[in-house]
Amino acid sequence: MKIYTKTGDSGTTALFGGTRVKKYNLRIESYGTVDELNSYIGLIKDQEINDTVKVSLLKVQNELFTLGAMLATPPEKETLKSGKERLNIPKVNLNSIEFLENEIDKMDEELPQMTHFILPGGHQAVSFCHVARCVCRRAERLAVELNDQEAINGDIIKYLNRLSDYLFTLARKLSKDLSVEEIKWIPEKQ
């Protein structure tokens, strides 16, 4: 498989199923942002963190790849004329969302109750979690906008919403694991 095809030299790219669209198309922006998010999760996974967390992050990366494929498939190309699904891979679904919720709950049991907003930072691994959380929120906003224009699988938006919560909780857990003080946001009095 060749890395360069030259088919995008005119500013278009193909969606799954062959439809060509401009590279700034909202569907491209959506799955491109999911791809960016996946890269940041790779950075988190590359840190000196618990192996169990690394396994969970690898699962998330695989789910994001699937989610990107779902976003790259326009509704009219989801099924073949025979009625068979064109994208023959397991989809991000309720089980995917419940996995994130279970991971959040497990981490949350070990953490002190939050009393204030927390400023990002304190350790590179924690900061990567916060950057990934912000990219995840952007991906979610783009998916919501795309859904307003043409319906997408509702589990995509739910998954991205839950993933941002997971990344926030993971940042807190890593702060605890790495003995990093969480900096509370306390607005300055004027």
Tell me, yes or no, whether 57 lies in a domain. Answer: yes
Instruction: Report pLDDT digits (tens) over 134-171.
Output: 999 999 999 999 999 998 999 999 999 999 999 999 99
Say how many C-beta atoms besides its own lie within 10 A of residue 30's C-beta.
27
Is pLDDT at 9 greater than 70 in this prediction? Answer: no
Tell me, yes or no, whether 144 lies in a domain. Answer: yes
Query: What confidence category does residue 4 fall into, taking pLDDT thresholds of 50, 70 and 90?
Result: confident
Tell me, yes or no, whether 34 lies in a domain. Answer: yes
Instruction: Report pLDDT digits (tens) over 72-131.
Output: 887 776 666 666 666 677 889 999 999 999 999 999 999 988 888 888 998 999 999 999
Residues counted in the chain: 190
Q: Give the CATH number for residue 170.
A: 1.20.1200.10
DSSP state of 188: P
Tell me, yes or no, whether 83 lies in a domain. Answer: no
User: Domain range holding 159?
Assistant: 12-77+89-181
Tell me, yes or no, whether 82 lies in a domain. Answer: no
Query: What confidence category does residue 21 fall into, taking pLDDT thresholds of 50, 70 and 90?
Result: low
Tell me, yes or no, whether 187 lies in a domain. Answer: no
Split into its structural domains, the chain has a count of: 1
pTM metric for this prediction: 0.89
Tell me, yes or no, whether 60 lies in a domain. Answer: yes
Per-residue buried b or exposed e for 105-135, using 16+ beta carbons within 10 Å of the residue's own CB: eebeeeeeeeeeebebebbebbbbbbbbbeb
Structure tokens at 91: 């989809």
Tell me, yes or no, whether 119 lies in a domain. Answer: yes
